[in-house]
Structure 1
Amino acid sequence: MSVSPAERTAHLRARARRLPWGLALRAAGAGAVAFWVGAVFPGPAGEFPYYAPLGAVVAMSSTVMGSVRNAVQSIVSIWLGSAIALATAMVMAPTAWTAALVIGVGTMAVNWRWLGGMGQWVPTAALFVLIIGADDPVAFVSAYGGLTLIGAAIGVVAIVLFPQLPLGPAEEAIRDVRAEVIAQLRQLAFALQGDGPPTETQWSDRRNQLEPALQRMRDARELVLDASRANRRRAHHQAVLESQVEQARTLERVCVLVEHLTQLLEEEERAGNDLVGLGPRLRPATARALLALADLVESGDGRTVDPGAKAAARETLAGLVDQIHAVRVGHSSDDELFTAGSIVTNIRRCLESPRSTDDEEALR
């Protein structure tokens, strides 16, 4: 299937929007400032100005606390590697065996938990000091360690002054989950509107994968919560942040319930079963209840919903309950109605998750 130029352009724009432009600009600015500071630094350190922007880049993160953590861990790793090289240089001349020794010892420290992902700088720093700083290792360590420390501090200051608060990606992830839930509910309803129960293949074709979108939403929520710590922009966006967190939690509960609904229908209302869970008398009412639930989810933002849509969903669910009672009066066994009862319970729990806008106003 060919892709139109407009679709290709829209795809490229979407990919471009996902690039970390803000972080890149902050890193570039911090690196430039750090290089300037390193270049004007007096003494031997001025000969190695590029180590200052290295420290700024290493410390850079999308969150304030992440930058502080990166800065501390990277500086400790660099100084630890430098200490390993200095200790080795005191007793051995720089040779292939010496390089192997400092790399081996430094590598053993890479996985130390308190160094985090910055532990890889231990053997790197040790090798730098041993080889590049062979003539005057103490002076080189002072320049290398000192400039990276200054650069890391500049990187942290840049993030503190111009912090990110990725509310946009989190909002997009929430919308994606809501869209997947709506699509799944409607697919289930359409599957029940046929003349007979769907086959296993038909159910499989109508099954959406909620978990990938749900995981992206969880990751986006964790990122925005982490970014909000020690973030001077948090106070200004506190209401939006709290709203997004509540939306994500509500949608997560609804996703679990919809996933259970999907599994239940796939297993119980399937062609080839000796006894189907709903049958021709309950499938239409169940489909209407699922469509009403989809309309309800679509009417809100995940946290609140339209009161009219909620009332309509409750009315449709009541119609399903009445139909179940009518079938029971028709001498159906309780086992035959187990699936219908479970569906009612799950839909009712979904209805209870998001508040209507009227309820939201009453709480204010």
Structure 2
Amino acid sequence: MPRVRANLREWRDGALNRSRILLAAKTAVAAAIAWAIVPLLPFVDNEYSYYAPFGVLVVMYPTVAATARTGGQTLLGLALGVALGLGALAATQFLSVPPVIPLAIVVAVAVLLGGIRHLGAGRDILSAAAVFVLLLAGQAGGDSYPLSYLVTMGVGVVVGLAVNLVFVPPLYFQWAGGRLTTLRGAIAAVLNTLADHAQNPDPPQVDAALAHLDAMLSEVRREVSEAEDSARANPRGRRHQHEGEQNAKRLRSLELAAAGTRDLAEVVAGRHPAALAALTDETTERFADAIRACAALTDTATDDPELDERLGAALRALDRYLDALPSTTVSTSTKAQRIEPAIFLRRVIDASAPFASDSPSSGSAGER
């Protein structure tokens, strides 16, 4: 039941957030305008005017840049598909071969052309356009179909781009910033889970926490990229350039923290038993304290006045853990395995250091 509620909340947040509602309104307006414009165009059969709103649906994206990019790719794919269909239709009429043969050839060639990655969204519509032209243009009264199809879809693409550009082009820097904050909290939560595991082992809980972190990191990367995309070709993008740069800097920092956290989990979850072997209760407690100090640092906002204090606290906690490590004679490989957790924790600390007012360039933990 809690899982169902979480899914419903996620669907609601995805479907009813402000950006999605704005996109729905703009798409509806663009589809209506495209539908109204097509009957006014010369050389276009009104029978196929429904392709205009379909063109809007194909290219309407939350950002202007994505709409423009998808629109160009769609028109190119349409043109290639129409040309391929007309060529096959001419060959059918000239050679008097059974229609099934040109159809098979058109489908095969269209699928091959769809492998051209630079066509982007045009790859999806190329095959359909070729088959539609071949099958419908050859019917009685279908002579106007290819031009009508291409023009009406083009109208939808152009109208979609115009509406997206004119009516409140959105910027998603604030949304991406909020998602980065959520990711920051997720990394801190995993670190706290690892600290608990160091004292009371629970491998399934560690695995679940890491799986959640991996999924969130991938999602946030995509959202930060979309936010950067929203500034391209956007009249308001230049005024918010600093927000995009700050989000990119935060993402790099959190990626480093997440990588250090994952490496630390490889040790803490027992995949390298020698790393934590022969630790006393006091040493284990100091290790857990160092992890929790890193969690508190990671969970601190970049503009929080306590960031410097928590950075120092994390470094001191790491030093205390290193001082408590057993000093008995052990093999070189065992020494390396015991020092690994400190290296990974230092990486987590270093991820936050660039945001501190007095960033430490070196420290005892990094020299050990």
TM-score by length of 2: 0.80
Contact 1:109 1:119 in 2 (8 A): yes
Change (3 A) 1:143 1:294: same
Distance 1:34 1:276 in 2: 70
**Partner AA of 1:346 in structure 2:** F
Q: Which residue of 2 aligns with 1:174?
A: 180
Contact 1:52 1:148 in 2 (8 A): yes
Distance 1:4 1:120 in 2: 34
Contact 2:302 2:355 in 1 (8 A): no
Q: Which residue of 1 aligns with 2:330?
A: 333
Distance 2:10 2:120 in 1: 36
Q: What is the deviation of 1:264?
A: 1.6
Distance 2:58 2:103 in 1: 24
Q: What is the deviation of 1:314?
A: 2.2
Distance 1:274 1:59 in 2: 54
**Partner AA of 2:130 in structure 1:** A
Change (3 A) 1:109 1:172: same
Q: What is the deviation of 1:9?
A: 7.4
Q: 1:312-356 deviations in whole A, cap 9, x for unaligned?
A: 2222223223323xx42xx45365554442222222232222135
Q: Which residue of 1 aligns with 2:364?
A: none
Q: What is the deviation of 1:255?
A: 0.9
**Partner AA of 1:322 in structure 2:** D
Q: What is the deviation of 1:303?
A: 10
Q: Which residue of 1 aligns with 2:136?
A: 132
Q: Which residue of 1 aligns with 2:265?
A: 262
Change (3 A) 1:190 1:102: closer
Range with greater deviation from structure 2 (137-146 or 23-32): 137-146
Q: Which residue of 1 aligns with 2:366?
A: none
Distance 1:91 1:193 in 2: 76
Q: Which residue of 1 aligns with 2:365?
A: none
Distance 1:263 1:308 in 2: 29
Q: What is the deviation of 1:191?
A: 2.7
Query: For residues 339-350 of structure 1, what are the structure 2 equivalents within 5 Å?
Result: 339-350=337-348
Q: Which residue of 2 aligns with 1:57?
A: 57
Q: 1:21-73 deviations in whole A, cap 9, x for unaligned?
A: 33322222211111111022234444432222222222222333322222222
Contact 1:30 1:155 in 2 (8 A): yes
Q: 1:201-244 deviations in whole A, cap 9, x for unaligned?
A: x2343342132121112222222223322222322322222211
Gaps of at least 5 residues in structure 2 are: 360-368
Contact 2:34 2:52 in 1 (8 A): yes
Change (3 A) 1:341 1:110: closer
Change (3 A) 1:264 1:304: farther
Q: Which residue of 1 aligns with 2:294?
A: 293
Contact 1:112 1:119 in 2 (8 A): yes
Gaps of at least 5 residues in structure 1 are: none
Q: What is the deviation of 1:283?
A: 0.7
RMSD of aligned alpha carbons: 3.3
Q: What is the deviation of 1:75?
A: 1.6
Q: Which residue of 2 aligns with 1:76?
A: 76
Alignment counterpart, residue 246 of structure 1, candidates 249, 255, 266: 249
Distance 2:183 2:8 in 1: 24
Change (3 A) 1:301 1:17: farther
Q: Which residue of 1 aligns with 2:349?
A: 351
User: How many equivalent residue pairs?
Assistant: 347
**Partner AA of 1:253 in structure 2:** L
Q: What is the deviation of 1:89?
A: 3.2
Are residue 235 (structure 1) and residue 233 (structure 2) matched?
no
Are residue 190 (structure 1) and residue 196 (structure 2) matched?
yes
Distance 1:38 1:305 in 2: 61
Contact 1:277 1:337 in 2 (8 A): no
Q: 1:252-284 deviations in whole A, cap 9, x for unaligned?
A: 0011111111112233775xx798163434111
Contact 1:51 1:147 in 2 (8 A): yes
TM-score by length of 1: 0.81
